[in-house]
Amino acid sequence: MEKKKALLLVVGGRAAPDVLALFCVQPHLVAILTSKEGWGDEPAFREIASSLPNHEQLLATQQVESYKFEEIRQACSDIYQTYPKTDWDWAFSIASCPKIMGIAAYEVAKENTIPCLYIDSLHEYVASFVSDIRDIPDIGIPPERLFQMTVQEYMKVYRREPRMLDQNQLNYRRKAEGWGDIARVMAVSRETPDFTRLMHEKHARVAIPFPPTLVESNLVQTLARFHAVEIEQAPNGSFTCAFTSQHFAKFLRTGDWLEVYTWHEAKEAGFASDYQWGYTIQSIAENELDVAFTYKAQLIFVECKTDGNPFFRTNYLNGISSKAEMLGGNYVTKIFITNASKEQEGYNNFYNQATLRKIVVVTAEGLPDIGRILKKEAENPTYKRI
């Protein structure tokens, strides 16, 4: 019979290194040993451990006196012997625990030739004492990839597969990714809400009347210079505006411009391992992550909305929370971005609801600085990732 994988986590501090040990080993059984003082991140950690694909057993947490070496050593040995090496491939993790607990666990690992992981997330370093973690069959994310994990590799941890795109979709994406300058003009212009309201339902080559003040605006004139729209003036002096192609219509009408702008500015900020926009996951309801980044094996994802006023749509926040629960819960940073102003009606209640769900809200006022904001949320998040 093929052996299953077991992971003993000797813990006490910030849980991020312990989550990375989960990602690396992908265990069927998880055991937790902590001190009598308890472990503040335990509830969130247990949720993440239970959500992983291989999960079968999550043992009751055991507590010991953090300064009693022999008691700790015996507890580690008892857990290991209850699920012997003849049936289980074991690994230990000692990244977040007090020193005496780590030394005691290491001694048990050494006696039984068990890989013993120490993951330093600050310095992006993985040490495997006693034996190589690769000795365990069917390892999850290998140590050398752990801190440079792509969005796709992160999804594989949760066995989420991307939806395949056809050639037309790929062609559109290649064009859209080259329209960063257009997206920036849309993001910083005060006329964008008026423009998108008028053009929202219109497709390419459908000309609609446009007020002269909007035609003369920097936004519309810039879009015309980029050949995204064409303006015509009738003999009576009135104006019409039309998209020049189906691709420009989709880009500017659906709000893809805000996704591309956010993606482009994040790449310019240069803080993450990977950047994706319009990332669609199979088998998840409302399955698109508008923009997604990975930073030190952690996921940051963004929901972008260009509604006239999105602040009466709390279902947006519910959708963000639901996606996060399927992809790591409190280990994920969640951000809502809109080009609507925070001066609009309903904002305060929306912001309060987002705060309860630990969702960062960025409005039109923050769009010119979005790269810095996203970098800050990756490196020093408003809502602590475990």
> Is residue 171 in a domain?
no
pLDDT more than 90, % of the chain:
77
> Is residue 210 in a domain?
yes
The pLDDT tens digits of the residues spanning 93-144 come to 999 999 999 999 999 999 999 999 999 987 889 999 998 887 777 777 888 8
119 in Cβ contact with 96 (< 8 Å): no
pLDDT more than 70, % of the chain:
97
Domain of 208, in residue numbers: 178-253
The pLDDT tens digits of the residues spanning 81-95 come to 999 888 999 999 999
Taking 60 as the threshold, does the pLDDT of residue 371 lie above it?
Answer: yes
Verify that 134 and 50 share a domain, yes or no: yes
Residue 137, exposed/middle/buried by CB under 10 A (0-12, 13-18, 19+)?
A: exposed
Taking 80 as the threshold, does the pLDDT of residue 205 lie above it?
Answer: no
> Is residue 168 in a domain?
no
Taking 60 as the threshold, does the pLDDT of residue 236 lie above it?
Answer: yes
Domain boundary among 234, 253, 272: 253
Verify that 8 and 118 share a domain, yes or no: yes
> Is residue 153 in a domain?
no
The pLDDT tens digits of the residues spanning 211-233 come to 999 999 999 999 999 999 999 99
How confident is the model over 203-216, as a mean pLDDT?
83
Residue 374 pLDDT = 98
Verify that 53 and 141 share a domain, yes or no: yes
> Is residue 172 in a domain?
no
Residue 289, exposed/middle/buried by CB under 10 A (0-12, 13-18, 19+)?
A: buried
Q: Judging by DSSP bridges, how do beta strands 62-64 and 57-58 pair with one another? A: unpaired
> Is residue 169 in a domain?
no
Residue 370 pLDDT = 98
Verify that 120 and 48 share a domain, yes or no: yes
Instruction: Single out the residue of 376, 294, 308, 295 nearest to residue 345, CA to CA.
Output: 308
303 in Cβ contact with 333 (< 8 Å): no
Verify that 127 and 192 share a domain, yes or no: no
Most distant pair of Cα atoms in the chain: their distance: 94
* pTM (predicted TM-score): 0.90
Verify that 342 and 216 share a domain, yes or no: no
Q: Which of 128-137, 171-180, 260-269 has the lowest mean pLDDT?
A: 128-137
Q: What's 299's domain CATH number?
A: 3.40.1350.10
Verify that 262 and 361 share a domain, yes or no: yes
Residue 155 pLDDT = 92
Q: What's 201's domain CATH number?
A: 1.10.10
Taking 60 as the threshold, does the pLDDT of residue 74 lie above it?
Answer: yes
Residue 204 pLDDT = 59
The pLDDT tens digits of the residues spanning 345-367 come to 999 999 999 999 999 999 999 99
Residue 159 pLDDT = 86
pLDDT, mean over the chain = 93
> Is residue 337 in a domain?
yes
Residue 13 pLDDT = 86
Verify that 10 and 89 share a domain, yes or no: yes
Q: What's 89's domain CATH number?
A: 3.40.50.10770
Verify that 28 and 125 share a domain, yes or no: yes
Residue 201 pLDDT = 64
The pLDDT tens digits of the residues spanning 290-308 come to 999 999 999 999 999 999 8
The confidence band for 178, taking pLDDT boundaries of 50, 70 and 90, is very high
Please count the CA atoms within 13 angstroms of the CA of 135 that sit on its side-chain side.
15
Both tokens assigned to 21: 């040990």
Residue 123 pLDDT = 86
- Quickly tell me which residue has 């999105």 as its tokens: 310
Verify that 17 and 129 share a domain, yes or no: yes
Verify that 14 and 39 share a domain, yes or no: yes
Verify that 80 and 120 share a domain, yes or no: yes
Tally of domains in the chain: 3
